[in-house]
Amino acid sequence: MSTPPILKVSESVDAEGALVITCFPSVGYVTSIVAHYLVEQLDLTFVGGVRASGLPAVCLVKDGHPMPPLRFYAGEPVCNVDGCDKLILIVSEIPIRNEMALPLSEVLLDWSKNAKVAGGVLIDSFSHTDEHAHEIIDDDESDETLLGIGATPATRKRLEEMEIPLLKQGVIAGMTGLLLGECRRRGLDTFAILAEANGPPGAGLPDARAAARIIEKLDLLFPNLSLPTDPLIEEAERIEEQIREMLEAHLGKLEEEAESSQPSGMLYG
């Protein structure tokens, strides 16, 4: 029998009244982009992480410093969620296996309860082309859909105030789905924001535009700060230009190969 996950957060961190934001791996690397953006823009500090036998034997290295794949960051931007004056960010670039999801979610929620956090926001993304993740049913034909799910009546009302349409029907997989269900069961004020993005998790291209749409909504939670999305849009444009140049070069090469493979009109005999 595997040992339960062990959560270690610095004793100097006072999480009472904090807003907890989670970013687990998602379509188009959206959660990773959002997490790294928040760390930089809000000057969040690494304060701890999770150890578990079910997590891969790897570490993330940042500026020569090794860190756990599932990490906690903390800061004190004042948000407009009642009682919130701090932020805890939980981020992982490593996908959480199904057998690990329940024990991990229990550890995270037990810690949140004991720490007396104010509420939670689960960041995620989806793609209609990904058959192995969320099943989202929506009537919006746009590829820039933003949807919300609230675990409690209060969080559903907040999503409406943020002008994020509620998901009417679907199946939410992974840590986001499990945490939403557990928060509903425990009566914890938590909501999810999902952006439509490109490609399956771990494949395709980083979707900085989808991340920017989420950042614009998170900005509403921090009235004393400004979260500019221009850097993300510029990054998206840079990636798109690189892709365009790669495709043009590749197509040009294919055309040259096609022309060189054409049979010669000269007959030998």
pLDDT tens for 210-244 read 999 999 999 888 876 778 888 878 877 776 677 66
pLDDT tops 70 at residue 258: no
Closest residue by Cα to residue 100 from 70, 61, 130, 136? 70
Read off the pLDDT of each residue in 4-26 and give the average, rounded to a whole number: 93
Dihedral angle over CA of 11, 15, 19, 25, nearest 10: 30
pLDDT tops 60 at residue 251: no
State the Cα–Cα distance between residues 115 and 73, nearest whole angstrom. 15
Going by pLDDT thresholds of 50, 70 and 90, the confidence category of residue 77 is low
State the pLDDT at residue 51: 92
Closest residue by Cα to residue 239 from 195, 198, 180, 200? 198
Distances (CA, A) of 108 to 4, 37, 84, 140: 12, 23, 18, 34
State the pLDDT at residue 268: 41
CATH class in words for 13-228: alpha beta
Taking only the tens place, the pLDDT of each residue in 33-73 is 899 899 988 889 999 999 998 888 888 888 898 999 999 99
Helix (H, G, I), strand (E, B) or coil at 121: strand
Read off the pLDDT of each residue in 64-87 and give the average, rounded to a whole number: 80
Kindly give, in sequence order, each residue whose CB lies less than 8 Å from that of residue 50, ignoring residues fewer than 6 positions away: 5, 6, 7, 8, 68, 70, 104, 107
State the pLDDT at residue 178: 95
Taking only the tens place, the pLDDT of each residue in 94-143 is 889 989 999 999 999 999 999 999 999 999 998 866 555 677 666 665 65
| Between 148 and 232, the higher pLDDT residue | 148
Helix (H, G, I), strand (E, B) or coil at 65: strand
Taking only the tens place, the pLDDT of each residue in 166-194 is 998 889 999 999 999 999 999 999 999 99
State the pLDDT at residue 155: 96
Read off the pLDDT of each residue in 152-174 and give the average, rounded to a whole number: 93
pLDDT tops 80 at residue 90: yes
State the Cα–Cα distance between residues 27 and 200, nearest whole angstrom. 5
pLDDT tops 50 at residue 267: no
- 8 Å CB contact between 125 and 33: no
| Antiparallel, parallel or unpaired: β 70-75 and 86-92 | antiparallel
Q: Retrieve residue 101's tokens.
A: 């999801």
State the pLDDT at residue 269: 41
State the pLDDT at residue 56: 85
Going by pLDDT thresholds of 50, 70 and 90, the confidence category of residue 266 is very low
